[in-house]
Amino acid sequence: MNSDNWRIANPDGKKRIIVTRDLPGDRWVDILVAAGCRVEIFTGTADLSPDEIRQRMGSRCDGVIGQLVEAWNESLFQALQGAGGKVYSNYAVGFNNIDLAAATRRGIAVGNTPGVLTGATAELAVALTLAAARRIGEAERYLRAGKWERWLPHLFLGTQLRGKTVGIIGAGRIGTAYARMMMEGHKTDIIYYSLHPKPALEELAAAYSRFLAARREPPVVCRRAEAVEDLLREADCVSIHTPLDDSTRHLINAERLALMKPDAVLVNTSRGAVIDEAALVDHCRRHPQFRAALDVYEDEPALVPGLADLENVVLVPHIGSATRWAREGMAILAACNVAGVLAGRPAWNRPDIDAFLEADPPPAAPSILNAEALNLPLFKATG
């Protein structure tokens, strides 16, 4: 690990924070510096190995901001605890790279960065849906390869989404935002699969249908699927928004792909391993009318053999949250998580997390996943 690859902000700060990859914007650094931290930021391009992270934490490290590509397991949390650390924040909303139980055993608060990336990720899912349905990737490759000779009535016929049924697996923040974009923007019906009913989403669809009826337009329908199999059979397009855990790993496997319509669209912006990628390649080969659009992969950045050769697949490199606003917001939340825990502030437990992007943020740590398990105080609004 070359020492030239580290940038230090506020060298005399009393608390030492390691940041394993430089982050967009400046405000996140200002927040940590204002909290009295010395901030050591890795500016190299390679991923830091667990040994390199351990080595950098050394014998004194109060907190870390890390990346979704790092496995924060027992061994790294043990090293952080040994260095006197109290807090780790992922620079991501997803936390399948973290052994939360190990962190809790070691008394380390774990933060993530929800909310600020909801719109960006849902927008990318919509973009992928349209790209797959309208064969944008194939058409662009064809044009760039100089194959376009004339306008033709049958050239790249795709699927029009208006009035179709969109299936949403996981109707949390991002799934709900995607459902709204598809329902309000493209007038699709929605079928969702989630552990709990989502009355707010269903009421919204009912209110929107009343609005459409007043304009003599057909209503939209939004309902919960009893089983994921029902959703897969009925939907023309399926978008995955569920977190990755033991219950969702390979949720979409060969058997379930076989239930889908032969010309359906499958979109994934959550985590790659929710789909059995080898089974998807096989399915796409055998069903040329089927289309998939992926932002995330089982073994990023590697792709399973054959995936990149498929014409009926759109592939982008895990850019769901990649807007400047979202990525700067994620950095601010991660910094507020670390600064908040070190200052002994309570954990925020309200949905309006964008308040942390304002000039005068709430005196709290925005998103601490194990706050209750660690008995951390929860934020109480005053006045």
Residues found near ligand DGY in the complex (CB under 6 A): 68, 92-94, 117, 320-321
Within a 10 A sphere around the Cβ of 190, how many other Cβ atoms? 27
- Residue 108 CA to residue 280 CA, distance in Å, equals 38
The residue from 56, 256, 271, 283 that is catalytic is: 271
Place of tokens 């397009």: 237
Residue 133 beta carbon to ligand DGY: minimum distance, rounded to whole angstroms: 23
Residue 320 beta carbon to ligand DGY: minimum distance, rounded to whole angstroms: 6
- For every residue of 99-117, DSSP letters joined together read -HHHHHHTT-EEE---STT
**300 is a catalytic site residue:** yes
- For every residue of 320-343, DSSP letters joined together read TT-SHHHHHHHHHHHHHHHHHHHT
The residue from 16, 318, 327, 345 that is catalytic is: 318
Q: Cβ closer to ligand DGY: 31 or 124?
A: 124
**144 is a catalytic site residue:** no
Closest C-alpha among 46, 80, 82, 44 to residue 65? 80
Closest C-alpha among 81, 83, 82, 80 to residue 66? 80
Q: Cβ closer to ligand DGY: 248 or 312?
A: 248
Q: Cβ closer to ligand DGY: 225 or 274?
A: 274
Q: Cβ closer to ligand DGY: 194 or 321?
A: 321
- Residue 358 CA to residue 3 CA, distance in Å, equals 35
* Length in residues, the chain: 383
Residue 313 beta carbon to ligand DGY: minimum distance, rounded to whole angstroms: 19
Q: Cβ closer to ligand DGY: 129 or 323?
A: 323
Phi/psi at 307 (5° precision): -60, -45
- Residue 171 CA to residue 185 CA, distance in Å, equals 18
Within a 10 A sphere around the Cβ of 290, how many other Cβ atoms? 22
Residue 218 beta carbon to ligand DGY: minimum distance, rounded to whole angstroms: 35
Residue 359 beta carbon to ligand DGY: minimum distance, rounded to whole angstroms: 25
Note whether 368 and 347 are within 8 A (CB).
yes
Q: Cβ closer to ligand DGY: 159 or 321?
A: 321
**271 is a catalytic site residue:** yes
Residue 147 beta carbon to ligand DGY: minimum distance, rounded to whole angstroms: 35
Residue 202 beta carbon to ligand DGY: minimum distance, rounded to whole angstroms: 26
113 Cβ contact list (under 8 Å, min separation 6): 89, 90, 91, 92, 93, 329, 330, 333, 334, 337, 366, 367
Note whether 119 and 373 are within 8 A (CB).
no
Q: Cβ closer to ligand DGY: 68 or 182?
A: 68
What three-state secondary structure class fits 146?
A: coil
What sections of 194-296 are H helices per DSSP?
A: 199-214, 228-234, 254-259, 277-286
Catalytic residues: 271, 300, 318
